[in-house]
Amino acid sequence: MKALSLPLPAEPMPGQIRFGALRRSARLLFGTPLNAVLTLLFGVLLVATVPPMLRWLVIDAVLFDPSPRACRVATGACWSFIYAKSGQLLFGIYPLDERWRPAIVCMLILALLAWSVRPASWAPRLAALWVAALVLIFWLMAGGFGLTEVPTSSWGGLPVTLILTVVAIGVAFPVGILLALARRSTMPAIRIGAVVLIESVRGLPLLSILFVASIMMPLFLPEALLPDKFVRALVALTIFAAAYLAEVIRGGLQAIPNGQYEAAAALGLPFWRTQYLVILPQAIRVAIPALANTIIVMIKNTSLVLVVGLFDLISSGKAVLADPDWPSPAAETFLFIGAIFFALSFSFARFADFLERRGPTAH
Amino acid sequence: MLSSTAKRVPPMPDPNDPPAIEMTGMNKWYGNFHVLKDINLTVLRGEKLVICGPSGSGKSTMIRCINRLEEHQQGQIVVDGVELTNDLNKIDVIRRDIGMVFQHFNLFPHLTILENLTLAPIWVRRMRREQAEQTAMYYLERVKIPDQAHKYPGQLSGGQQQRVAIARALCMSPKIMLFDEPTSALDPEMVKEVLDAMVALAEDGMTMLCVTHEMGFARQVADRIVFMDKSEIIEMNTPAEFFSHPRHQRSKLFLAQILN
Ligand SMILES: Nc1ncnc2c1ncn2[C@@H]1O[C@H](COP(=O)(O)OP(=O)(O)O)[C@@H](O)[C@H]1O
Ligand SMILES: [Mg+2]
């Protein structure tokens, strides 16, 4: 490159910089009449809302006083309720003496999730680790083999949300890949089967699929063949997620040029190895933003299981509010539950963002 | 080594060996369109064929039938003594032994150059990784880009990518190499580096079928030139004969256009 011979501007004094920045932001905020009006309106809005919000959240709030009476008289939020009820909020109606079991389950799932997002741990053994962990989790939750048995109807709260999310999405992802491939198959029977399944699932609201699984299935199936209600809801969520993920992955597959298939074929790679090594890594990468979107929606969809009588976080929130000793602080409770969902969804969004940036950039 | 520029005498094809490729009475249609008409072509081991002809004459389709990227409907194709049928296992076995280089390279963009080269040896030939990487580095040196091994295809120039594509095919130790217009998507200044790699491969005695309009290359390495037009093989001859005494009106016309 040719060296430029422009004179360098004299180094500005620190004071000048600050002044310049001030002038720049002033121009940005009040530069045009419209900007000035918007700035003023927004300022009024902030002044009107922030102080009362702060007062409610912190200043007038009951932070530590553990007695319900403090909350009755306070005009602010009742955070002590969240502490006092944290066990029931997080673990629902799970037997009190056995709460250490769902506590371990939650920590195990969160630890495994944290472990799984590291590229260094991506190996076939990670899948084996998850399968082993799920067996352990199911044993801890349900009991038997030395532990007190706890039926799924007594499960509740965070472990239910986490198990539903992780298992439904974890199983739906590979199933979705298979459905996407089936829908592009040249074999008519396979293609039509995939189309019928995907389109019927997409045509129904998740609520109705959950109702079919939990209320109608018992009408058709004999008692002995009927899976547990929890398992039925899990299957319904999985099928729902798989249909949506399949369409997103199919979109990614369509972006792969024919030359990739031809190059793999010319090297003698058979069908499945071509998919696994060449096509899917590229298709999934293309589809990451849409995949992340679908998965985040699914994380929150798990709370719909409350309509078929399973107790996820939101249902245990409703349950704790029913305590007559307390003034029923619904806003605080649902803010707390919302924060948990936000933490899960936002972490996942960050992970998807990291995946998108990783690897070769498009040329 | 590829780097040697000294002209070597290529090993003469032995007519007593079974042929590398034998196509007899081969026909192919796309719907109603008769894209290959009664193709009869025998390629001996070690022979180098250059296939030329106007665009749309069926050159790509013909060589793609050899590794069954396209299916023929009539006649016989025998590769290395094995007839091409619908038996999928047989097709994969035949494809391992036929390397192909495409006009648009078709490298795998999500893999590094080294991974592009080792993928098939590891997953198709079941080679150990270290050995596959050793082989890959050997061929990268032969096409003169060992320093690019850890880059991604998108970071390389067109000429470099095409040389990687050649090395990728060679890593499977193919008995036959097919080239479909390997230089026509390249900027002019990169054509030579790819042709050099192909010349060196020819000097090593590889059986080669090249669809190309690089007539200098054809003169230098081809044992025979196959001229196709309108779905048929019109003329087949040594380069000397073909260039100085084309027998058919259509060959003359084509040569006049391409050599003007
Ligand atoms: N998949 C296809 N379906 C229908 N027609 C095709 C297809 N591929 C190629 N053709 C047609 O077959 C003819 C020969 O194509 P091709 O073998 O690519 O010619 P060349 O390589 O000599 O330029 C062309 O007329 C082309 O339009
Ligand atoms: Mg062509």
Asked if pLDDT for residue B10 goes beyond 80, the answer is no
Q: Which residues in chain A are contacts of B172 at CB distance < 8 A?
A: 267-268
Residues contacting B215, CB < 8 A, separation 6+: B52, B243, B258, B259
Residues 6 or more apart in contact with residue B185 via CB below 8 angstroms: B103, B104, B105, B158
Nearest residue (by CA) to ligand 1, atom 20, is B56
Q: Is B238 left (phi over 0), alpha (psi -120 to 50) or beta?
A: beta
- Ligand 1 atom at minimal distance to the Cα of residue B180: 21
Q: Is the pLDDT of residue B244 over 80?
A: yes
Separation of alpha carbons B14 and B18, rounded Å: 9
Least confident of A44-48, B41-45, B255-259: B255-259
Q: CB-based burial of residue B53 (10 Å sphere; 0-12 exposed, 13-18 middle, 19+ buried)? A: buried
Pick from B92, B100, B110: CB nearest A270: B92
Ligand 1: which of B27, B35, B55 to mutate, most ligand atoms within 8 Å of CB? B35
How far apart are the C-alpha atoms of A215 and A310, rounded to whole Å?
13
Q: Residues B216, B236, B59, A260: is their CA dihedral positive or negative? A: negative
Q: Is A164 within a domain? A: yes
A62 part of a folded domain = no
Pairing assessment for the beta strands B21-30 and B74-79 based on DSSP bridges: antiparallel
Residue A276 sits in the same domain as residue A173:
yes
Tens-digit pLDDT string for chain A (363 aa): 444 444 455 555 555 566 778 888 888 888 888 888 999 999 999 999 999 999 998 888 888 888 888 888 888 889 989 988 899 999 998 999 999 999 999 999 999 999 999 888 888 899 999 999 999 999 999 999 999 999 998 998 999 999 999 999 999 999 999 999 999 999 999 999 999 999 999 999 999 999 988 888 888 888 888 888 899 999 999 999 999 999 999 999 999 999 999 999 999 999 999 999 999 999 999 999 999 999 999 999 998 888 888 888 888 898 889 888 888 888 999 999 999 999 999 999 999 999 988 877 644
**Tell me, what's the pLDDT at A17?**
60
What pLDDT, on a 0 to 100 scale, did the predictor assign at position B90?
Answer: 85
Query: Would you state the pLDDT for residue A29?
Result: 84
Instruction: Report whether pLDDT(B11) > 60.
Output: no
CA separation (Å) from B37 to A49, B22, B131?
81, 15, 44
Please tell me whether residues A137 and A219 are part of one structural domain.
Answer: yes
**Radius of gyration (Cα) for chain A, nearest Å?**
27
- Give the DSSP H/E element, type plus range, for residue B209: strand B207-211
pLDDT over 50 at B6, yes or no = no
Residue B189 has pLDDT above 60, yes or no: yes
CA of B58 to the centre of ligand 1 (A): 6
**Token pair in block for residue A229:** 């209600």
Residue type, A128: A
Helix axes B129-142, B113-123, angle to 10 degrees: 130
**Nearest-Cα residue of chain A relative to residue B109:** A360
> Quick one: A154 and A20 in the same domain?
no
- Closest by CA to B98, choosing from B197, B42, B173, B13, is B173
A86 falls within a domain: no
Distance CA A217, CA B227 (A): 69
Average pLDDT of the residues of chain B: 92
Cβ-based interface (< 8 Å): residues of B facing A: 67, 69, 88, 92-93, 95-96, 98-100, 102, 104, 106-110, 119-120, 123-124, 152-155, 168-169, 172
The answer to whether residue B24 scores a pLDDT higher than 70 is yes
**Spatial contact of B258 and B213, defined as CB atoms under 8 Å apart:** yes
Q: Is residue A28 part of a domain?
A: yes
Domain identity same for A150 and A14: no
B90-99 tens-digit pLDDT: 898 899 999 9
Q: Which of B88, B109, B123 sits opposite A282 (nearest CB)?
A: B109
* Residue A276 lies inside a defined structural domain of this protein: yes
One domain, residues A102 and A228:
yes
Which one, of A236, A344, A222, A228, lies nearest residue A295 by Cα?
A344
The C-alpha atoms of residue A128 and residue A133 are separated, in whole angstroms, by 8
Single-letter residue type at B246:
P
If asked whether residues A129 and A264 sit together in one domain, one would say yes
Q: Which residue has the tokens 């198990």?
A: A163
Give the closest-approach CA distance of B249 to chain A in angstroms.
Answer: 36
Position A3 scores a pLDDT of 46
* Domain count within chain A: 2
Q: How far apart are CA B37 and CA B112, in angstroms?
A: 41
Encode A253-280 in three state secondary structure: HHCCCHHHHHHHHHCCCCHHHHHHHHHH
Claim to verify: residue A147 and residue A33 sit in the same structural domain: no
Cα–Cα separations (whole angstroms), residue A35 to A31, A41, A47, B123 = 6, 10, 18, 62
Biggest CA pair distance of chain B: 55
Residue of A nearest to B172 (CA): A267
CA separation for the pair A108, B42 (Å, rounded)? 66
User: Which of A40, A55, A70 is the last residue in one of the domains?
Assistant: A55
Distance, in Å, from the CA atom of A291 to the CA atom of A285, rounded to the nearest integer, reads 9
pLDDT of residue B5 exceeding 50? no
Question: Do the beta carbons of residue B236 and residue B23 sit within 8 Å?
Answer: no
Q: What residue numbers bound the domain in which A102 lies? A: 95-358
- In a shared domain, residues A181 and A43: no
In whole angstroms, give the CA distance from residue B47 to residue B57. Answer: 23
Task: List chain B residues with CB under 8 Å of A277.
Answer: 119, 123
Q: Which two tokens stand for residue B169?
A: 């095919």
pLDDT in the model for residue A24: 84
The single-letter DSSP state of residue A330 is: H
Q: In sequence order, what DSSP letters do the residues of B26-94 get, joined into one string?
A: EEEEETTEEEEEEEEEEE-TT-EEEEE-STTSSHHHHHHHHTTSS---EEEEEETTEE--S-HHHHHHH
- Percentage of chain B modeled with pLDDT above 90: 86
Residue pair A355/A281 in contact by the 8 Å Cβ criterion: no
Distance B51 CA to ligand 1 centre (A): 15
- Are A316 and A88 in contact, with CB atoms under 8 Å apart? yes
Is there a contact between A195 and A247 (Cβ–Cβ < 8 Å)? Answer: no
- Nearest-ligand number for the alpha carbon of B180: 2
| For residue B186, pLDDT beyond 80 | yes
By three-state DSSP, how is residue B235 classified?
strand
Does A87 map to a domain? no
Strand partners, B49: B209, B224
Same domain, A1 and A113: no
What string of H, E and C letters represents the secondary structure of A128-167? HHHHHHHHHHHHHHHCECCECCCCHHHCCCHHHHHHHHHH
pLDDT attached to residue A12: 52
Residue A83 maps to a domain: no
* Residue A282 and residue A135 share a domain: yes
Cα B181 to middle of ligand 1, angstroms: 14
Residue B19 confidence class, pLDDT cut points 50, 70, 90: very high
Give the C-alpha separation, A149 to A131, whole Å.
21
Assess whether A49 and A101 both reside in one domain: no
DSSP string, A72-135: HH-SS-BHHHHHHTHHHHHHTTS-GGGTHHHHHHHHHHHHHHHHHTSGGG-SHHHHHHHHHHHH
pLDDT of residue A33: 87
Kindly identify which residue of chain B lies nearest to residue A263, measuring between CA atoms: B106
Are residue A32 and residue A146 in the same domain, yes or no? no
CATH code of the domain in which A214 resides = 1.10.3720.10
Residue A320 lies in a domain: yes
Does residue B198 contact residue B210 with C-beta atoms inside 8 Å?
yes
CA atoms within 13 A on the CB side of A108: 21
Q: Which residues pair with B30 in a beta bridge?
A: B33
Rounded Cα gap, residues A88 and A86, in angstroms = 6
Give pairs for B194-198: CB < 8 Å, separation 24+. B194/B159, B194/B162, B194/B163, B194/B166, B196/B2, B197/B2, B197/B142, B197/B143, B197/B144, B197/B163, B197/B166, B198/B166
